[in-house]
Structure 1
Amino acid sequence: MSLTNQQPEFENEGGTIQSLDSTNWPLLNGQKLSLRRLLLNPSAVREPHWHVDANELAYCVSGEALVTLFVNGSKTDSFTVTAGQMYFVPGGALHSIDNVGTTVAEFIVGFTDANPQEFGIADSFTAFSDAVLGNTYSVPADTFTPLRTATRPGKISVRTQPTEVPHSALRTSQYRFDVDAMTPPVNSPSGSARTARKQFWPILEGISMYSLDVTDDGMREPHWHPVTTEMGYVHKGRARMTILNPGGAVDTYELEAGDVYIVPSAYPHHIEDIGDDDIHFCIFFDNVMPQDIGYRAAIGGWAPEVLQAAFGLDTDVFASLPFTAQDPLIVPRVNPVDPAS
């Protein structure tokens, strides 16, 4: 399913929001993941808003933005995010994203709900009377009369004045994570995985993301994730994926930049580069510490005789396979790519 080709759910001169959720992809029903693509033009602001039922985890593809959060009581945080960095917003936290750069800011945003709901700050004010708002701020009620006739731009607005980025926004924030700058926990000549997970980013709840790179002669081996659903976005390259379903049905399809896939919990699957260039995926999980069982290491837990009997073999195929103490996750492709079927 293509995210970049989706009809925008919101679009104006300030930018675009595209979504893949349970309303336009029924396969997500019952899952705890959905994705959005946010494009903000220079000087555009994703209005202050909050999500009713979902945490938010975003990866910056390009540009520079100022993220501001109001989390609890009088606690606020403001920080900049650039390409390769991420931010996390707990459910219910008021937040905005302000493009303070000179180019389009692009974000791939994951949520912990298949159809996240939200409130915008402008609409939330107009729900209450002028008198109630006046009492809240200790001012006359007619202070808020202009709100009733103003034309609200919606989810994205455009500033007429530059935003002053405070020096504090460049400091470390617990809600920002520089995923692409980290030393990859998984690293080989065939690719790498940088992991925004609770082990490295303690603030996370209900969601994590891997920044996966696979070379043009590499492959993410067949594997599955116990009690974890996976939803991936193809940032760069062309790939082939195979997913095994309960009952034996097999789905194999090709992916290109802008595509999204979903793998239900514990379904075996693999990812293989079939293009001329490397591939880069942003892979979201509905688990802060996703586990992984790979085919290469898994068979090492049984004697070759047991595997021979399970497969109904007369020859000892498995005795010739190398023992793997730790699963490599990403392996070199030593055989040609299977022809397209």
Structure 2
Amino acid sequence: MLLKGVVSAWLLLEAAIAAPTRQSPLVLEKQKSPYNLDHYDPYDRKFDSYGEHVQPLPMRNGKGTDMLGPRNRDRERQNPDMLRPPTTDHGTMKNMHWSFADSHIRIEEGGWTRQTTVRELPSSVELAAVNMRLDEGVIRELHWHKEAEWAYVLKGSVRITALDTEGGSFIDDLEEGDLWYFPSGHPHSLQGLSPNGTEFLLIFDDGNFSEDSTFLLTDWLHHTPLSVVAENFRLPPEVFKELPEEEKYIFQGSLPGPIDKEKPAAFKKSKLQFTHKMLAQKPKEASGGKVRITDSTNFPISKTVAAAHLDIGPGALREMHWHPNADEWSYVIRGRARVTIFAAEGNARTFDFMPGDVGIVPRNMGHFIENLSDDEPLEMLEIFRADKFLDFSLFQWMGETPKRLVLDHLFATDPKSGAKFAKAIEDAEKDVIKEHYSIDDDSYEDEL
């Protein structure tokens, strides 16, 4: 009997070794990987597949199976909740995610530009964006737009010029974390300054905007009769015979000197302040990070764009909330994020974001932003087509609503848990970014 048992055990082991594996090698390297049929998670916890170098698979709580056909493994690691959505996701929802890496890039002399508009991301109806790079001395030529332009400097330094409607001029040099805002129709220019130039994010208050449709100085002059140009400037037509025959758009210019030496003789200082130092603001401290809000209350010229700069600590959560006055257009500067959008009527969908990614949350839709990483910070912008930043906090709402009413809604059959909940929301203090909270669940830890 003993010999028969040994032989049976050996045959079973041999069969197991010979059987083809149905798991990615990357998955097998991680004991805590949720991407297997035996893993059970009743709480839909996050998992940072990109940071952990684990290949996601469409398996959750005993359902699903592996993948046999062609696949984009890098994309899957960047968007794990697309491949393995939380059980709470349901229904249909428009795509709310786009990466600038998928945007067409226009390459020019000493610079480039790429955009995310309603054409790339149909849900981006209120705002459009342009990511632009200018080397040292490279100029984004004198121009204006139908739309207002809001900008955030991502790297390097840049000089801007602008003219207001009363003939006042404005010149300023900006660095990382600084903003500018040009109202609709106000002419302006941009030029890279530092040895590596500059890179910035431009926001326009219309999702249908196109960077290729701006009003350019050279383009206008080229399409105006030379006799009119000459008469306008009171000079012989011959003076203009060497005007550019096509738009310059982005081009290498001469290096600028100090602002005081650059000002023309007719310079009249504008009464408007077109720039703002966002990162120099004193932040609002939260338990899990920092928030800086810039809108018309502290940047008065910015009448159509409001923004928040978020520093979300490792594992921390931008609390559950919604915005009543505008769609949220978000942009990840560094780190990785998970966002679930609740759209009512039983619809919810989860998206994952990497640096350079854009996210949309339509107004009034509930959502959160979670730092996927437990050891790296998440830095991002929330931007709105609005004059003020407004949000509603779910935590604050629950805390300031009569306790009886809240418990009747949520804990009618579980008064013990209701008492714990009531205690937790007692102070009703909004905590915009909540520090990482580890769920105490021994059965879950034993499973891992």
For the criterion TM > 0.5, the same-fold answer is yes
How far 1:266 moved relative to its partner? Answer: 0.8
Which residue number in structure 2 is paired with residue 5 of structure 1?
101
Equivalent residue letter for 1:283: E
Does structure 1 conserve the Cα–Cα contact (< 8 Å) formed by 2:331 and 2:359?
yes
Cα distance change on mapping 1:55 and 1:220 into 2, 3 Å: same
Aligned counterpart for 2:352 among listed residues 228, 237, 254: 254
* SS of structure 2 residue aligned to 1:143: helix
Query: In 1, Cα distance between the equivalents of 2:382 and 2:323?
Result: 12
Equivalent residue letter for 1:37: N
Q: TM-score, normalised by structure 2?
A: 0.70
Query: In 2, Cα distance between the equivalents of 1:5 and 1:195?
Result: 27
Residues 233-248 of structure 1: pairs in structure 2 closer than 5 A: 233-248=331-346
Residues 209-288 of structure 1: pairs in structure 2 closer than 5 A: 209-275=307-373, 276-288=375-387
Query: In 2, Cα distance between the equivalents of 1:77 and 1:169?
Result: 12
Does the alignment pair 1:331 with 2:407?
A: no
Equivalent residue letter for 2:368: H
Query: In 1, Cα distance between the equivalents of 2:315 and 2:439?
Result: 9
| Percent identity (aligned) | 23
More strand by share: 1
Equivalent residue letter for 1:72: T
* SS of structure 2 residue aligned to 1:209: strand
Does structure 2 conserve the Cα–Cα contact (< 8 Å) formed by 1:3 and 1:37?
no
How far 1:326 moved relative to its partner? Answer: 3.1
Does structure 1 conserve the Cα–Cα contact (< 8 Å) formed by 2:399 and 2:427?
yes
Does structure 2 conserve the Cα–Cα contact (< 8 Å) formed by 1:55 and 1:205?
no
How far 1:73 moved relative to its partner? Answer: 4.4
Does structure 1 conserve the Cα–Cα contact (< 8 Å) formed by 2:118 and 2:208?
yes
Equivalent residue letter for 2:436: R
Bigger Rg, structure 1 or 2: 2
Query: In 2, Cα distance between the equivalents of 1:200 and 1:67?
Result: 20
Gaps of 5+ in 2: 1-96, 264-268
Does the alignment pair 1:310 with 2:403?
A: no
Equivalent residue letter for 2:310: L
| Residues matched between the structures, number | 331
Does structure 1 conserve the Cα–Cα contact (< 8 Å) formed by 2:295 and 2:306?
yes
More helix by share: 2
* SS of structure 2 residue aligned to 1:72: coil
Query: In 2, Cα distance between the equivalents of 1:282 and 1:197?
Result: 13
Equivalent residue letter for 2:176: A
Question: Following TM superposition, where does structure 1 have runs of at least 4 consecutive aligned residues deviating by more than 4 angstroms?
Answer: 168-173
Which residue number in structure 2 is paired with residue 123 of structure 1?
219
Which residue number in structure 2 is paired with residue 187 of structure 1?
285
Does the alignment pair 1:319 with 2:418?
A: no
Cα distance change on mapping 1:9 and 1:125 into 2, 3 Å: farther
Q: Deviations over 1:71-97 (max 9, x none)?
A: 224221110010111111111011111
Aligned counterpart for 1:295 among listed residues 361, 369, 394: 394
* SS of structure 2 residue aligned to 1:333: coil
Which residue number in structure 1 is paired with residue 172 of structure 2?
79
Aligned counterpart for 1:107 among listed residues 191, 200, 210: 200
Does the alignment pair 1:41 with 2:140?
A: no
Which deviates the most, 291-300 or 166-175? 166-175
Does the alignment pair 1:26 with 2:122?
A: yes
Cα distance change on mapping 1:73 and 1:128 into 2, 3 Å: farther
* SS of structure 2 residue aligned to 1:234: strand
Which deviates the most, 99-108 or 231-240? 99-108
How far 1:324 moved relative to its partner? Answer: 2.9
Does structure 2 conserve the Cα–Cα contact (< 8 Å) formed by 1:9 and 1:18?
yes
How far 1:248 moved relative to its partner? Answer: 1.8
Q: Deviations over 1:130-172 (max 9, x none)?
A: 111111000112322323xx3546321111x321231389999
Gaps of 5+ in 1: none
Query: In 2, Cα distance between the equivalents of 1:71 and 1:305?
Result: 56
Query: In 1, Cα distance between the equivalents of 2:176 and 2:182?
Result: 18
Cα distance change on mapping 1:336 and 1:109 into 2, 3 Å: farther
Cα distance change on mapping 1:336 and 1:57 into 2, 3 Å: farther
Cα distance change on mapping 1:24 and 1:79 into 2, 3 Å: same
